[in-house]
Structure 1
Amino acid sequence: MVLFLYSPLVSRGVAQSPLGAPRATLAAPAEASFAVGQQLDANLAAATAPLLAQGPSSGSIVTYIAMLSSQNVVPNAPMTEARGVVGAALAGDRLVVRGSFRELSSALRDYATDPVDPPNPNITSAFHIHRGSPSENGPFQYALEVTMNSTGRGGSATGDYRLTPEQIQALQNGLLYVDLHTTRNRGGELRGILMPA
């Protein structure tokens, strides 16, 4: 099997369309490889599209990606085959997020029946954005809307938020991360820091 390295062709300043440009992806079948490059391209395109639709008034668009891995979960990395990717686009204070994931170990954690202590009514799904360094569990910021696929172990996530100046600074400093929680791994099954694309 031959592997190719993947590098998104998106500049740090103004987003370029991630569609239409040739991409090197893993040479394994899409089912086995999760088609990381294709998933990133699709997520970045979906995150950028609403901002581009705003027209010139949206200003420059900065794109971010997060590679979700169980190895990034703090304090203990769970054993799982799950994987996921997130693409995000920022214009001004508006952050649009699109994610995809698969092969979760179990169903998503349901915060209605298994709430955090103390309960937080803003945690409406098991896919979150938090603020914190890679070595800590930071405070909850936003919940993403999750759509599961037919397997019940994969799906997609979306979010559209207005960030505070402090959150924008955290994003620019690599201090916003996304994580996903399941019933088997309540504290987190996947996690990744949003980094410039």
Structure 2
Amino acid sequence: MKRTALLFACLFAFGAASAQDDTMTGGMMSGGMMTGGMMSGGSMMSGGASMDQSLEVTLSGDQQVPPVTTEGTGSATVSLAGDTMTVRGDLSGLSSPLTEVAGSSGHVHLAPAGENGDVVFPLNVSADEGGTSAIFSLSTTLTPEQMDAFNAGELYLNFHTETNQGGELRGQITPSL
């Protein structure tokens, strides 16, 4: 939160210092620092645009729909730079080996928290010998519609195991607002 406030302060100061006319008219600052969007806590939301950000995502069985009882845990860092989303993370302690569903054992899905949704992207998953721990990654370009879903918190990570083929661990990607 402090980094976001500092970033906003620096961007605002830079914009005010570089503007030829520091008046605000119609939601636009002369000099072009802010244009027709609303900046709030690190996100620029207007027509799918978003400021670069890095989010920490916790994966758990409690987030599955319906919830799953598991000792498994996981975490991920989801970064957005322009329209490029990068995901890196790990998981461990799964109840059974990971299993492929729709071409991968892990995916990015489209749905708000509390709902299941369709696969949007497969994740690159590299499991240990027993298949109950893994690292995963993804780097992909988001369409404007996917960017809107990202900004709305409607993307989530999901991992499938032999015991829980619908998903054992889930983590909602919730941007800073």
- Using the size of structure 1 for normalisation, the TM-score is 0.62
Following TM superposition, by how much is the alpha carbon of 1:192 offset from its aligned partner in structure 2, in angstroms? 1.0
1:70 is the counterpart of 2:49: no
Which residue of 171, 182, 192 corresponds with 2:150? 171
Deviations 1:4-45 (A, max 9, x none): xxxx9864896xxxxxxxxxxxxxxxxxxxxxxxxxxxxxxx
1:93 maps to a residue whose letter is D
1:150 Cα offset (Å)? 4.2
Contact 2:59-2:170 within 8 A present in 1 as well: yes
The 1:98/1:64 distance shift into structure 2, 3 A limit, reads same
Q: CA deviation at 1:79?
A: 1.6
In proportion to residue count, which structure has more helix?
1
Q: Secondary structure at the match of 1:196?
A: coil
- Match of residue 99 from structure 2: 109
**Same amino acid, percent of matched pairs:** 34
CA-to-aligned-CA distance 1:136-170 (integer Å, 9 cap, x gap): 11111001101112443111001011101111111
Instruction: Please say if residues 97 and 130 of structure 2, whose CA atoms lie closer than 8 Å, have aligned partners that are also in contact.
Output: no
State the one-letter code of the partner of 1:100: D
Structure 2 spans left out of the alignment, 5+ residues: 8-49
Listed as ranges, the gaps of 5+ residues in structure 1 are 1-7, 15-58, 112-122
- Report the alpha carbon displacement of residue 65 of structure 1 after superposing the two structures with TM: 2.2
- Residues in 2 aligned to 1:77 and 1:148: alpha-carbon distance in whole angstroms: 23
- Which amino acid counterpart does residue 132 of structure 1 have in structure 2? A
Corresponding residue for residue 181 of structure 1: 160
Which protein has the larger Cα radius of gyration, Structure 1 or Structure 2? 2
Please say if residues 127 and 146 of structure 1, whose CA atoms lie closer than 8 Å, have aligned partners that are also in contact: yes
- In angstroms, what is the RMSD of aligned CA positions? 2.3
TM-score (ref. length: structure 2): 0.69
CA spacing shift, 1:63–1:185, aligned 2, 3 Å: same
Residue 141 of structure 2: aligned partner: 162
Total equivalences in the alignment: 134
Q: Deviations over 1:67-104 (max 9, x none)?
A: 11100000x21221000011111111111110110001
Seen in structure 2, the aligned counterparts of structure 1 residues 172 and 83 have a Cα distance that, compared at 3 Å, is same
Residue in 1 that maps onto 2:109: 130
For residue 58 of structure 2, what is the amino acid of its counterpart?
A: M
SS of 2:62's partner is helix
